[in-house]
Amino acid sequence: MIDFRYHIVSIVAVFLALAVGIVLGTTALNGPVLTDLRGRVNGLAADKRGLEGQVRDLRVQVDGNEKFATTIAPTVVAGRLTNDSVLLLSAPGAPTDARDALATTLRQAGAVVTGRVQLRGEYVAPDKAVVIDDLVTRLAPAGLALPTGDVGSRAGTELAAALSYPLGGARGLTPDAVDSVIAGFREAGLLTIDGADPTAAPLVVVVAGAAPVKASDDDRRAAAVLLRLVDALARRGSATVVVGPRTAADDGGLIDALRSDPQVSTLASSVDAVDTSAGRVTTVLALAGRLRGEVGQYGIGRAATAALPAQPTAQPTAQPTGQPTGQPTGQPSGSAAP
């Protein structure tokens, strides 16, 4: 019969064999494993240094492009919007520095900025819908037909009537009615005014904020409310262009909502990357295009159809009667100059 001491010796022998095996295995593999790991770490470090160099080069290139675009922007936009009235309307969260830089570019183009209106987050807040609907009903100017749909459409129609009027058309609302609507929305905490009180304009630029990193249903609903305002501005007949940073064309952004809507995207233009000089120049060209009846989605973001609007082709200068094209006066074709 096997006694207890035999079991103890057997168990100790098993664990001793395991320990010896682990030591021998570690000793045998230690060199190759460490060598491989060192090689991988060194390779990753080299890749990191290479990527850092590429990032530096790209930043230098971007800075150079921005300086170049900033330098030539006044020349490119000069005379594009001479004496045209433009109102700047910023969505909640839109950067004020991009809006102010855009205002400078518009003035370089000859435009007159008639006001800078900033919508607040309350305008798109779901829990404010009943309050906004009641406000819109109370402020409704005589003769303005409000839609019977959602509050976003009703508020957008009323605000659009106060801030814009059709290209080549009459203003529509009286100055008192405009003042009443703007004052009512401001007192309700739905918007703020930067600088002097705005006056309506036939050209409207809606400045959008960046889209959230991960869009939620609430973000998309907020963009839909703002899109109703854009739709109302465009349907009223104003030349409407929605601008914003490149990410405004991502999911949950206003430009994405516009470009995704098959109807509104045929009425209003959009420009992403407006936080760059090139984007601001494109905005001026897009407004000039709207004056010609053109609509497009411009920039480098998602669903952009072109980098910038196509420019009208210059007409060739008429040649004098009987003068062959490209020949100096009195010089027969094919003869040598004296």
| Weakly modelled stretches of the chain, pLDDT under 50 | 320-338
User: What does the pLDDT read at residue 33?
Assistant: 66
User: What does the pLDDT read at residue 7?
Assistant: 63
* Residue 336 falls inside a structural domain: no
| Three-class DSSP labels, the chain | CCCHHHHHHHHHHHHHHHHHHHHHHHHHHHHHHHHHHHHHHHHHHHHHHHHHHHHHHHHHHHHHHHHHHHHHHHHHHCCCCCCCEEEEEECCCCCHHHHHHHHHHHHHCCCEEEEEEEECHHHHCHHHHHHHHHHHHHHCCCCCCCCCCCHHHHHHHHHHHHHECCCCCCCCCCHHHHHHHHHHHHHCCCEEEECCCCCCECEEEEECCCCCCCCCHHHHHHHHHHHHHHHHHHHHCCEEEEECCHHHHCCCCHHHHHHHCCCHHHCCEEECCCCCHHHHHHHHHHHHHHHCCCCCEECCCCCCCECCCCCCCCCCCCCCCCCCCCCCCCCCCCCCCC
Residue 170 domain boundaries: 78-298
User: What does the pLDDT read at residue 49?
Assistant: 82
**Of 55, 76, 97, which closes a domain?**
76
* Structural domain total, the chain: 2
Q: Are residues 50 and 180 in the same domain?
A: no
Q: Are residues 146 and 292 in the same domain?
A: yes
User: What does the pLDDT read at residue 324?
Assistant: 44
pLDDT (tens digit per residue) in 168-202: 888 889 999 999 999 999 999 999 999 999 999 99
Q: Are residues 40 and 133 in the same domain?
A: no
* Residue 171 falls inside a structural domain: yes
Q: Are residues 68 and 124 in the same domain?
A: no
* Residue 327 falls inside a structural domain: no
pLDDT (tens digit per residue) in 53-77: 787 777 776 666 667 667 888 999 9
* Residue 114 falls inside a structural domain: yes
**Of 76, 109, 143, which closes a domain?**
76
**Of 13, 48, 76, which closes a domain?**
76
User: What does the pLDDT read at residue 66?
Assistant: 62
Q: Are residues 72 and 89 in the same domain?
A: no
User: What does the pLDDT read at residue 266?
Assistant: 97
